[in-house]
């Protein structure tokens, strides 16, 4: 709203814009998740479970305490989207895997998110390519484990 010509203002404006788009993307995600009667975290978990994974891995991926995953898995399991299974060789580990219903839900969710993304609706193919290059550069830096 108040762009400046100084270098400091430039940096601030870019950051503000990124925050705005981030907010929008986040809200878009929440809205789509709500459409499927999912909380954001439940949706995140579903998306992460494209292939089965130990609960520990999911906790790492979501950057939260393992005890948190117990509850999220409980709620998804009670609705039949996810199942706990043992893993051969280590009886401590519980693998989380999508059920048939869970897989269907996950695909629909993923598609809906892509469709509703502001970037998809506002930018053309060439612009997206440019954006992709910049985002990749910003995304790679340091924080890319998993």
Partner DNA sequence: GCAGTTACTTGAGGTTGTCAAGCATTGAGG
Partner DNA sequence: CCTCAATGCTTGACAACCTCAAGTAACTGC
- Residue closer to DNA (CB basis): 69 or 105: 69
Query: By CB under 8 A, is residue 114 in contact with a copy of itself?
Result: yes
86, burial (CB in 10 Å: exposed 0-12, middle 13-18, buried 19+): exposed
Query: By CB under 8 A, is residue 85 in contact with a copy of itself?
Result: no
Query: By CB under 8 A, is residue 4 in contact with a copy of itself?
Result: no
Main-chain dihedrals φ then ψ at residue 85, nearest 5 degrees: -135, 150
Among 6, 67, 136, 145, interactor with a copy of itself by CB under 8 A: 136
CB 49 within 8 A of CB 82: yes
Q: How many Cβ atoms sit within 10 Å of the Cβ of residue 42?
A: 20
Minimum distance between the CB of residue 2 and DNA, rounded to whole angstroms? 26
Q: How many CA atoms lie within 13 A of 22 on its CB side?
A: 7
Distance of CA 24 to the CA centre of its chain: 14
Among 15, 34, 66, 85, interactor with a copy of itself by CB under 8 A: 15
Binding site for DNA (CB under 7 A): 39-42, 54-56, 59, 62-75, 84, 89-95
Binding residue count for a copy of itself, defined by CB under 8 A: 44
Query: By CB under 8 A, is residue 29 in contact with a copy of itself?
Result: yes
d(CA 125, CA 140) in angstroms, rounded, equals 22
Partner from a copy of itself, DNA, none contacting 99, C-beta within 5 to 8 A by type? none
């Amino acid at each position: 709203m108040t762009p400046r010509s100084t270098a400091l203002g430039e940096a601030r404006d870019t950051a503000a814009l990124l925050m705005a788009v981030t907010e929008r993307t986040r809200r878009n995600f929440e809205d789509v998740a709500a459409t499927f009667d999912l909380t954001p975290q439940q949706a995140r978990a579903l998306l992460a479970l494209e292939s089965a994974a130990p609960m520990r891995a999911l906790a790492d991926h979501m950057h939260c305490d393992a005890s948190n995953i117990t509850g999220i898995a409980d709620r998804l399991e009670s609705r039949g989207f996810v199942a706990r299974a043992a893993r051969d060789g280590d009886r401590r580990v519980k693998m989380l895997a999508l059920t048939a219903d869970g897989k269907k839900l996950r695909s629909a969710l993923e598609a809906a998110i892509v469709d509703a993304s502001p970037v998809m609706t506002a930018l053309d193919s060439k612009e997206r390519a440019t954006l992709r290059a910049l985002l990749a550069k910003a995304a790679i830096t340091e924080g890319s484990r998993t």
